[in-house]
Amino acid sequence: MDHIVMSEMRFHGHVGVFPEEKENGQIFIVSCDMAFDKIPGAVTDKLEDTVDYAVVYDVIKQEVTTSRCDLIEHLAYEIAGKVLEVSDLIKNVEITVSKPEAPVNGNFKTMLTKITRERGE
C-alpha cells in the first residue's frame, strides 16, 4: 500500500464547546494520511496520476477555517469525508486533529483525535 502524508498543517479555527472558543478561535494542527493500493504517479511521474496535495491542503484549510462544530472528533470526520471526495485513488484516510490550546486546566502538549475512514463508509 502507498501513502501520501501531509503532516502538522496549522490553521486558525473556531471549533469548540465554549463560547470563547467559537468567538476567538485557536490554532488547530491537522495531519492527513491518505492510503492507496498503488499511486500510478510513482511510476509515471505525472501529477494527473496522483493526488495533488495542494488541492487536499485547500480542502482541509476550508473545513477547519469555516467549521463551527463543537468537537474535534466531528471536525476530523468531516475532513476525512471531504478528502475522500478529492480522488477515487484514495482508499482510506486517517485524519488527526490536534488542539494544543484546549481549555483544560493542566500541563499537556496537545489534545488530539484520529479518525480513519474508508471509501464507501
> Is domain 2-118 annotated with CATH 3.30.1130.10?
yes
Q: Which one-letter amino acid corresponds to residue 53?
A: Y
Q: What does the pLDDT average to over 6-11?
A: 98
Residue 86: all three cell numbers together: 478529492
First to last CA, the chain: 19
* pLDDT tier, 87 (very low <50, low <70, confident <90, very high otherwise): very high
Pairwise CA distance, residues 99 & 27, whole Å: 7
* pLDDT tier, 61 (very low <50, low <70, confident <90, very high otherwise): very high
47 pLDDT above the threshold of 80: yes
* pLDDT tier, 93 (very low <50, low <70, confident <90, very high otherwise): very high
Q: Which residues of 16-33 are buried (b: 16+ CB within 10 A; e: fewer)?
A: beeeebeeebbebbbbbb
Pairwise CA distance, residues 33 & 3, whole Å: 7
* pLDDT tier, 81 (very low <50, low <70, confident <90, very high otherwise): very high
Q: Catalytic site residues?
A: 99
Q: How far is CA 45 from CA 5, 33, 86, in A?
A: 18, 20, 19
How high does pLDDT run on average in the chain? Answer: 96
